[in-house]
Structure 1
């Protein structure tokens, strides 16, 4: 929090957003999306396992897509975490008919117009590329650096993700089948 406040004081483009309590990553993402004033939004975890220096490289690919999702190259996690992630990504992709290599990588850049339309329910950060596609976004992937965890401890493990993840994947599948993408305009301007 102090780091963000310091950055916000130095750069008027930076805004520090604080939720009144910890409501999880999905709520934090949605709060940031709604507060964003720029045309491009970047997300990353606070543990700095992803290198913020990769953001400009991701942004270079926005000429071909609306979302550039990072894929953790040479992932610096233990075998159990890497394998459970691989299995979860495979199951998630099979159920949602998607092909997201590494949905657990929070490092991504996206056009704000798409991010602001996504409704984030608890746990939906795990499906963000899929939800963005529902809103019409073109999603591409790109390898990004991944470093060993130096700060904090992961809040995610097999025990607290397995059952919730199974329920959530069926919820997302339901959303894919029921989602309607629409836009409105002021028809009085036609007169």
Structure 2
């Protein structure tokens, strides 16, 4: 599998996260880790470059300009060498120990329906009250309109087939709407309870309601995509 991690200015968090991933995955899976540096302005890139010799499965993609979380994930998935993709946030709040349960759920689900998305549900959020409140409002509005039946669409830990993801239309903030995009294409979405940890250092770079107007536009766009989608399976 390919682990895709988007990062922006996470110099204090990314190396400890990579150490944890090695501890949990080495000897269990054939895997690679692609860290997509979303044009960081701190020492994130430097620290990653120093880690390559010690961590042979690590690959680094450096974006020459900010692409946002969705843009970074997209570049990582495009470069992936394995058919199974697992994504993690680069701030260390996702627990790599959850990858086992995520992969097990993916294997069970994909045996019945290959077009699937397994997404984490942070049932005990370790964020500020404001962030938890804004996320709850965003999830409620999104769910009531898109009916994707996903309690935590913004959770960073996910598992999905590379080819299925690459069918999705690419746009900024698409990572918030992956369950809806999967459902629109006849996919199966499964939410799995996962751990959530407090951020140890730095501040969030991808807020919940800080781009409210853009979020509303994106939501309406996803509704339009579902309404206007051409069903290729109808063609024989």
Count of equivalent residues:
183
Q: How large is the RMSD of aligned CA atoms in angstroms?
A: 2.0
8 Å CA contact 2:134–2:209 kept in 1: the answer is no
- 1:186 maps to which residue? none
Q: 1:108 aligns with which of 158, 166, 171?
A: 158
Deviation at residue 119 of structure 1 after TM alignment: 2.5
Q: 1:129 aligns with which of 174, 179, 182?
A: 179
- 1:34 maps to which residue? 78
8 Å CA contact 1:30–1:119 kept in 2: the answer is no
Q: 1:47 aligns with which of 91, 96, 116?
A: 91
- Equivalent residue runs for 1:1-191 within 5 Å: 1-2=45-46, 4-5=48-49, 8-10=52-54, 13-62=57-106, 63-65=108-110, 66-157=116-207, 160-182=210-232
Gaps of 5+ in 1: 184-191
Deviation at residue 9 of structure 1 after TM alignment: 4.0
State the secondary structure of the residue aligned to 1:160.
Answer: coil
TM-score with structure 2 setting the length = 0.71
Q: Which has the higher helix share?
A: 1
8 Å CA contact 1:114–1:136 kept in 2: the answer is no
Cα deviation code 1:2-60 (max 9, x no counterpart): 56546654555443222111110110111111111101101111101111121121000
Distance 1:89 1:17, change over 3 A: same
8 Å CA contact 1:4–1:15 kept in 2: the answer is no
TM-score with structure 1 setting the length = 0.86
- 1:189 maps to which residue? none
Deviation at residue 155 of structure 1 after TM alignment: 2.3
Q: Residues of 2 paired with 1:175 and 1:9: CA distance?
A: 44
Q: Residues of 2 paired with 1:42 and 1:9: CA distance?
A: 23
Q: Which has the higher strand share?
A: 2
Q: Which runs of 4+ in 1 moved over 6 A?
A: none
Distance 1:69 1:6, change over 3 A: farther
Gaps of 5+ in 2: 1-44, 111-115
State the secondary structure of the residue aligned to 1:88.
Answer: helix
8 Å CA contact 1:40–1:111 kept in 2: the answer is yes
